[in-house]
Copies of this chain bind each other. A is one copy, B any other.
Amino acid sequence: MARSFDQVRKILAQNIRALRDEGQLSQEELALRADVDRTYVSQIERAIGNPSLLVLCKLSVVLGVDVKQLFDPI
């Protein structure tokens, strides 16, 4: 379970970073548009912390994908 959490969180980190790069967004831009803190986006991309569903939704909207796609391995 802790294993699953770590895996999921890493996939999440990869996907967010990949999607963000695709969209030519900086962490700062993404954070601004998603209305979350700049340092928190950084944390999520480093697979640190434990983001809530709300934050994941906010990010997915800005990244232009459905939430579940954030969990799909690339």
Per-residue interface assignment for chain A, residues 41 to 69, with 1 indicating a CB less than 8 Å from any chain B CB and 0 otherwise: 00000000011111011101100001110
A5 touching B50, Cβ below 8 Å: no
Per-residue interface assignment for chain A, residues 19 to 58, with 1 indicating a CB less than 8 Å from any chain B CB and 0 otherwise: 0000000000000000100000000000000111110111
Q: Is A74 an interface residue (CB 8 A)?
A: no
Q: Is A16 an interface residue (CB 8 A)?
A: no
Query: Which residues in B have their C-beta under 8 angstroms from that of A72?
Result: 68
Q: Is A9 an interface residue (CB 8 A)?
A: yes
- In Å, the complex CA distance between A58 and B1 comes to 6
Query: Which residues in B have their C-beta under 8 angstroms from that of A5?
Result: 53-54, 57-58
A53 touching B1, Cβ below 8 Å: no
